[in-house]
């Protein structure tokens, strides 16, 4: 599906939430759902849900709501999840190894297909069904496996160097688990996943 540019990041981040919710409804054999019901279940404003979805087309049916399967299929297409997206994971410490094992058993289109580490002692080890590559192989493997996305799970001090290497290999989308901000040139999308800051923000509600 042709991408619509200049969509706010906050909208894009809500689309997978809608998709997961719809897939759960499908598992329960629910055929239709209203934006009101979606809002109640997801703790979101129904008007915001309608506004988000209307950016990409007219999916609702007046008086009935959304056809669950149809909308789920549309969201899969919008997000580009109708094809497998190959991912490289850099850093196979405790977090990286856990991410690799978790992804292995998820039936999704985003698949970790290659893992890398800068420590010679870890190179050649097997995690799940993948063997750890040295960083020197990054460019070659990215090209061979048509890798489009990368996950950084290295210590903070190594994150920027890893990001630079990934970008040099043609990677344009990065999920960063390192507890630091990385600098990237225009056209590169980075999403930070810092567990510590998430917990700190939740502490406000205690």
Sheet holding 65-67, edge to edge: 32-33, 65-67, 60-61
Residue 94 annotated as binding site:
yes
- The CA distances from residue 7 to 56, 78, 114, 133, 144, in Å, are 10, 12, 30, 36, 32
Nearest in space to 154 (alpha carbons), one of 73, 79, 74, 96: 96
H helices, E strands: number in the chain: 8, 10
Residue 63 annotated as binding site:
no
The contacts of residue 110 (CB under 8 Å, 6+ apart) are 81, 84, 85, 87, 103, 149
Nearest in space to 79 (alpha carbons), one of 62, 56, 98, 54: 56
Residue 170 annotated as binding site:
no
Residue 57 annotated as binding site:
no
The contacts of residue 134 (CB under 8 Å, 6+ apart) are 116, 117, 118, 120, 123
Residue 86 annotated as binding site:
no
Residue 99 annotated as binding site:
no
Q: Residues at the annotated binding site for NAD(+)?
A: 91-96
Q: Residues at the annotated binding site?
A: 91-96
């Amino acid at each position: 599906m042709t991408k619509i540019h200049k969509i706010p990041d906050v909208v894009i981040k809500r689309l997978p939430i809608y998709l997961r919710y719809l897939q759960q409804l499908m598992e329960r054999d629910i055929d239709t759902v209203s934006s009101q019901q979606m809002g109640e279940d997801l703790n979101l404003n129904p008007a915001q849900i309608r506004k988000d979805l209307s950016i990409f087309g007219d999916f609702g049916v007046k008086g009935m709501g959304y056809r669950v399967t149809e909308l789920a299929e549309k969201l899969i297409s919008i997000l580009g999840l109708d094809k497998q997206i190959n991912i490289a994971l850099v850093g196979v410490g405790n977090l990286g190894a856990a991410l690799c094992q978790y992804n292995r058993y998820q039936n999704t289109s985003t698949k970790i297909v290659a893992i890398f580490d800068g420590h010679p002692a870890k190179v050649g080890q097997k995690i799940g069904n993948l063997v750890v590559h040295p960083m020197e192989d990054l460019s070659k493997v990215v090209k061979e496996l048509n890798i489009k996305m990368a996950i950084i799970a290295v210590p903070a001090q190594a994150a920027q160097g890893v990001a630079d290497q990934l970008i040099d290999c043609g990677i344009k989308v990065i999920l960063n688990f390192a507890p630091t901000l990385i600098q990237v040139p225009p056209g590169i999308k980075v999403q930070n996943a810092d567990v510590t800051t998430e917990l700190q923000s939740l502490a406000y509600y205690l």
